[in-house]
Structure 1
Amino acid sequence: MDLAGAAAVLALLSIPASVLIARWQMRTTLAQSEATYRAALEVAEVNHRAALEVLDANHQKALETAEANHQRALELAAASHRGALDVARKQAEAEHLRWITEARTAEYRLFEASLAQFRRVFLADEVVKNELIDAHHEMHRSRYAIRQLGPGEVYDVVERIDLQCGLILVRFAKRTSQIPIERAEWWQRAIAPLRLELGEAVKGMLDRHIASI
């Protein structure tokens, strides 16, 4: 066999070897690609789970923050509501105190006016029975109005004055001949100290009202 023939035989023999090598290389490449793909999938799965965990943690934290903010908002709203109620209550109490103080003062003046009229009639040169009865009737009416308005220390003095004037009415209404000086002495003993006591009681009530404003 010449050299040309030998080369041809060798060429034919070399074809299957290269094909086998190429296939082996292709399989190796495919196997590497598959391994790389699987590794990428595993990494992606791990990253996905990690991302889900982070997302879940963030979501839970966001829920907790939202709940805390909601609770805080409720507490602030409740505190604001309580504050508004407290302001309204204090305003109502102040308004009531102002009204009752005005009503008390007006009724005290009516009582004082009735008492002054009773005194004028009683200390006149001649006592007019009907006028004395009318003045005492007005005092009696005012006494029960003051009983409703209070306070107790004022009503206590008013009641004693009214009772003393009632005694005067019983003792002196039929004795118009009683000389004025005796009636004046009786008034000075029985009523004058109570009038001073009434003035002090009214002043104390007004002082407390001013202090509370």
Structure 2
Amino acid sequence: MDLVGIGAISAAAVAALGVPAAVLVGRWQMRGALRAAEETGRAGIAQAESTYRAALDAVRTEADAAHLQWRRGIRRDAYAGFLLAMTRCVQAAEALPRGLLETSQVLSAAEDELTRAKNDLSAALWVVKLEGPPDVADIAGSVSSRTYELTGALARKAEYHRAASILYHLRSSNPTAAELDAALMGLAVVVSETGYNARPGSRQMPPQEVTEAVERATELHGQLSDDIGISEWVVLLNEALNYYTDPEALNRQLTSTVEQLLPSCRQALDARSSTDDLSLTTDL
């Protein structure tokens, strides 16, 4: 074989060997490219996830803050409405007429106003119970009970003053009325001196002095039954017996209970979060 033939065969052999090598190099290059693309893809996915989580956290934080602010506003309105209803209730009881009335319409209007105030207080308490938290609702319930006790005492005190006005005006024209007035004052003195407790729940038997004073006052009232009705007589007698709790004492109790409520309200409004709150973003 001449040199040309040998050269051709050698070239063909080299070419045959170069084809697999080129293929192998191409595969390596492709694998490297795929690996690089895979790493780039992973980095992109991680960056996307990080961006998504950051955006989700921002949305959650904003939603939680908005929900907390909304809940705080609802509770603040509930607490303020309850305290205002309590105040109006006491004011309505204090405004009940105490003097001798020319007409019954004035008294009826005042009593209707007190009834509306009590109903408003009851409704306001239910709003506080609905909004919570439980400790605030519990103390608000005590405030409501104290308020009803005070308004009841104020209503009885106003009724007593109206009855006393009737008796006072009768004294100038009826000696028996003057005697009854003196007998009731004497009964009050005896009750105070003997320490007799005639209030509900007490099982103390009245001393003889108290019994005799009540009998004397009742006898005198029998002579004035046409001028002093049974309802007026009952409140006059109960006042002399110190049967009801003094409104001043009940007012102090109410004030003390309100002072317990206010810090609980502030704590509920200032809390960053609360176990009784339901977050709107929990499932995001």
Mark the CA change 1:93 to 1:129 in structure 2 (over 3 Å): closer, same or farther: farther
Query: Could you tell me how far apart the structure 1 residues matched to 2:101 and 2:253 are?
Result: 26
Q: After TM superposition, give the deviation of residue 133 of structure 1 in Å.
A: 4.4
Alignment-mate amino acid for residue 81 of structure 2: A
Q: After TM superposition, give the deviation of residue 45 of structure 1 in Å.
A: 0.8
Query: Could you tell me how far apart the structure 1 residues matched to 2:266 and 2:245 are?
Result: 33
| 1:110 matched residue in structure 2 | 88
| 1:13 matched residue in structure 2 | none
Q: 1:204 aligns with which of 255, 260, 263?
A: 260
Mark the CA change 1:63 to 1:48 in structure 2 (over 3 Å): closer, same or farther: same
Q: 1:37 aligns with which of 12, 15, 18?
A: 15
Query: Could you tell me how far apart the structure 2 residues matched to 1:195 and 1:139 are?
Result: 17
Query: Could you tell me how far apart the structure 1 residues matched to 2:245 and 2:102 are?
Result: 22
Q: Given the alignment of the two structures, is residue 66 of structure 1 paired with residue 58 of structure 2, yes or no?
A: no
Alignment RMSD (CA, Å): 3.4
**Number of paired residues?**
187
| 1:91 matched residue in structure 2 | 69
Indicate the structure with greater helix content.
1
Q: After TM superposition, give the deviation of residue 106 of structure 1 in Å.
A: 2.5
Q: After TM superposition, give the deviation of residue 33 of structure 1 in Å.
A: 1.8
| 1:177 matched residue in structure 2 | 167
Q: 2:144 aligns with which of 155, 164, 167?
A: 155
Q: Which runs of 5+ in 1 are unaligned?
A: 1-22
Query: Could you tell me how far apart the structure 2 residues matched to 1:129 and 1:105 are?
Result: 33
Q: After TM superposition, give the deviation of residue 50 of structure 1 in Å.
A: 0.6
Matched residues, percent identical? 11
CA displacement 1:25-65 (0-9 Å, x = unmatched): 11222222222223332221111001111122222223333
TM-score of the aligned structures, taking structure 1 as reference length: 0.69
CA displacement 1:129-178 (0-9 Å, x = unmatched): 84454434322211221112123222121222344456667777667427
SS of 1:177 mapped into structure 2: helix
Q: Which runs of 5+ in 2 are unaligned?
A: 126-139, 169-180, 189-235, 271-284
CA contact (8 A) 1:143 1:155 kept: no
Which structure would you say has the larger Rg? 1
